[in-house]
C-alpha cells in the first residue's frame, strides 16, 4: 500500500512557553484509508495537522506528501489536500453557495463545473435551505455542515476533517459519517481528527492516539484493543425502589460501586453468562433501569496505554 503522508521525527516548540506541542512524532498515512487521530483537547492534534497541511512550520523533522517535501514545496499541498475547519472565518460574509462556488473555482473547476459541483454537494449534505443566509448568521451546526461541504468540493485525493460532527444532531451526524465513508469508498484518503471515540471507532481503519504532543500508539482498532485488558464490563443502573437488592451484587468479585444505583462488574468473556444468570436470579431484570455489556473500546486503549485521562 502506497504512502500518502510520511511524518518523521516531527517537533514543534512554541517560543512563548518553550513547550513541545509535538514531540518526535513519526507516522505514515496510507493511500485510501481512514486514519483517525484521537486525543483530548490540547493533545497536539491540531498542531500536527497544521504542519502537514503547510499552515505551520515545524521546529524540526520532515513531512512528505505523495513523495514531495511539504516544507520545501508547500504551494503544492492545496492541489492534493482539502481541509475542513470548524469555523471557516475567511468566508463568513459569503452565502454557502457563493463559498462553495468560490472554493470550486480556486480548486480548478470551470464556472459551469463549479456550479454543478456546488449543487451536488448542497444536495448531498441537504443544505439547500441555507442558500439565503450568510455563513456568519448560521447556527453552529449549520456552519459545521458548510465546512464539511467546503472540504468535499473539488474531490481532493486527501481530505482532512477536524471534529466534523460537532454541533450536529444524531440524524445529521450519521448522515455526515455515511458521506465520509462513501468518499473513502471512492478512493479518497481521509484523516480524521476527533475526541469523539464512540463515533470515530465505527469508521476508522487505523488510529493514532496522541497526548502531550507524543504519539502513544498507532494501529488498527482491533490490534490496539487486543493489547489491553480483555475483560467484559457489565454496567448496571439499579432502580431506586430496588436498592435493597443491590447487596447481592456487591459481594461479587470485581464489582465497583460508582454510586448507590450504579455498579460495574468486570469478568472474562467465558464467565459472562454465569454473571448475567446470577444477576437475573438475585435481582431480576425488572430491578434495573439500564443494563449494558461493554467490550474493550478505543477509550480503554487510550487510558490503559498511557493517556492519563479520558478523551473529552
More confident residue, 10 or 243: 10
The answer to whether residues 225 and 34 touch, using CB atoms and an 8 Å cutoff, is: no
Rounded Cα distance between 8 and 62, Å, is 5
Task: Please report the pLDDT score of residue 311 as a whole number.
Answer: 46
For residue 269, what are the contacts with CB-CB under 8 A and spacing of at least 6?
230, 231, 232
The CATH number linked to 186 is 3.40.50.300
100-109, 290-299, 302-311: which has the minimum mean pLDDT?
Answer: 302-311
> Which has more pLDDT, 2 or 39?
2
Identify the domain boundary among 226, 241, 266. 226
Q: Are residues 166 and 72 in the same domain?
A: yes
Determine, yes or no, domain membership for 306. no
pLDDT tens digits, 129-151: 998 899 999 999 999 999 999 99
Question: What is the Cα Rg of the chain in Å?
Answer: 23
Condensed to tens digits (0 to 9), the pLDDT of residues 41-69 reads: 888 999 999 999 999 999 999 999 999 99
Report whether pLDDT(304) > 80: no
Q: What is the 3-state secondary structure (H, E, C) of the chain?
A: CCEEEEEEEEEEEECCCCEEEEEEEEEEEECCCEEEEECCCCCCHHHHHHHHCCCCCCCEEEEEECCEECCCCHHHHHHCEEEECCCCHHHCCCCHHHHHHHHHHHCCCCHHHHHHHHHHHHHHCCCHHHCCCCHHHCCHHHHHHHHHHHHHCCCCCEEEEECCCCCCCHHHHHHHHHHHHHHHHCCCEEEEEECCHHHHCCCCCEEEEEECCEEEEEECHHHHHCCCCCCEEEEEEECHHHHHHCHHHHCCCCEEECCCCEEEEEECHHHHHHHHHHHHHHCCHHHEEEEEEECCCHHHHHHHHHHCCCCC
In this structure, is residue 103 part of a structural domain?
yes
Distance CA 38, CA 173 (A): 18
Which residue has better confidence, 226 or 81? 81
Residues 254 and 204 placed together within one structural domain of the fold:
no
Per-residue model confidence (pLDDT) at position 306: 56
CB atoms inside a 10 Å sphere around CB 136: 12
Give the pLDDT band of residue 17 (cuts 50, 70, 90).
confident
**Same domain for 7 and 93?**
yes
Domain count, the chain: 2
> What is the C-alpha separation between 100 and 145, in angstroms, rounded?
12
| Residues 181, 269 within the same domain | no
Q: What is the reported pLDDT for 312? A: 45
Q: How many residues does the chain have?
A: 312
pLDDT at 207: 93
Let me know if residue 300 belongs to a domain: no
55 and 69 assigned to the same domain: yes
Question: Domain holding 253: CATH number?
Answer: 3.30.70.120
Does 309 score more than 60 pLDDT?
no
Q: Is the pLDDT of residue 307 over 70?
A: no
Domain closes at, from 209, 226, 243: 226
Q: Is residue 38 part of a domain?
A: yes
> Does 301 fall in a domain?
no
Asked, for residue 304, whether it belongs to a domain, the answer is no
308: in domain: no
Q: Do 154 and 95 fall into the same domain?
A: yes
In angstroms, the CA 50 to CA 162 distance is 11
Distance CA 117, CA 265 (A): 52
**pLDDT confidence tier of residue 200, bands split at 50, 70 and 90:** confident
Of 188, 206, 226, the domain-final residue: 226
Distances (CA, A) of 69 to 61, 77, 148, 220, 250: 11, 10, 27, 27, 59
CA 248 to chain centre: 40
State whether 98 and 241 are in the same domain.
no
pLDDT of residue 7: 97
Assess whether 141 and 178 both reside in one domain. yes
Q: What is the mean pLDDT of the chain?
A: 90
CB crowding 171-192: b at 16 or more within 10 Å, else e: ebbebbbebbeebbeeebbbbb
- pTM summary value: 0.84
The whole-number average pLDDT for the span 143-160 is: 96
Domain range enclosing 44? 3-226
Above 50 in pLDDT, residue 171? yes
Residue 312 lies in a domain: no
Both 133 and 89 in one domain: the answer is yes
Based on the fold, state whether residues 150 and 254 are members of the same structural domain. Answer: no
Identify whether residues 134 and 243 lie together within a single domain. Answer: no
Residues 275 and 238 in one domain: yes
Amino acid at each position: 500500500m502506497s504512502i500518502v503522508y510520511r511524518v518523521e521525527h516531527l517537533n514543534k516548540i512554541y517560543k512563548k512557553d518553550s513547550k513541545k506541542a509535538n514531540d518526535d512524532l513519526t507516522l505514515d498515512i496510507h493511500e485510501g484509508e481512514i486514519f483517525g487521530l484521537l486525543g483530548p483537547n490540547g493533545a497536539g492534534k491540531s498542531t500536527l495537522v497544521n504542519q502537514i497541511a503547510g499552515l505551520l512550520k515545524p521546529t524540526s523533522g520532515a513531512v512528505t506528501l505523495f513523495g514531495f517535501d511539504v516544507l520545501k514545496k508547500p504551494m503544492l499541498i492545496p492541489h492534493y489536500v482539502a481541509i475542513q475547519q470548524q469555523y471557516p472565518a475567511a468566508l463568513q460574509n459569503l452565502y454557502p453557495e457563493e463559498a462553495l462556488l468560490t472554493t470550486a473555482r480556486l480548486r480548478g473547476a470551470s464556472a459551469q463545473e463549479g456550479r454543478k459541483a456546488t449543487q451536488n454537494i448542497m444536495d448531498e449534505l441537504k443544505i439547500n435551505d441555507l442558500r439565503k443566509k450568510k455563513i456568519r448568521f448560521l447556527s453552529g451546526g449549520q456552519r459545521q455542515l458548510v465546512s464539511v461541504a467546503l472540504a468535499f468540493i473539488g474531490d481532493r485525493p486527501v481530505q482532512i476533517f477536524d471534529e466534523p460532527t460537532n454541533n450536529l444532531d444524531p440524524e445529521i451526524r450519521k448522515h455526515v459519517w455515511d458521506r465520509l465513508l462513501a468518499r473513502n469508498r471512492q478512493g479518497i484518503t481521509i484523516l480524521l481528527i476527533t475526541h469523539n471515540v464512540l463515533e470515530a471507532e465505527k469508521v476508522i481503519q487505523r488510529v493514532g492516539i496522541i497526548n502531550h504532543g507524543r504519539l502513544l500508539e498507532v494501529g488498527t482498532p482491533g490490534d490496539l484493543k487486543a493489547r489491553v485488558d480483555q475483560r467484559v464490563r457489565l454496567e448496571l443502573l439499579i432502580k431506586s425502589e430496588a436498592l435493597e437488592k443491590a447487596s447481592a451484587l456487591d459481594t461479587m468479585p470485581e464489582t465497583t460501586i460508582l454510586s448507590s444505583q450504579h455498579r460495574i462488574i468486570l469478568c472474562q468473556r467465558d464467565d459472562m453468562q454465569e454473571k448475567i444468570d446470577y444477576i437475573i436470579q438475585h435481582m431480576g431484570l425488572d430491578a434495573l433501569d439500564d443494563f449494558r455489556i461493554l467490550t474493550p473500546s478505543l477509550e480503554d486503549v487510550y487510558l490503559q496505554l498511557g493517556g492519563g485521562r479520558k478523551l473529552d
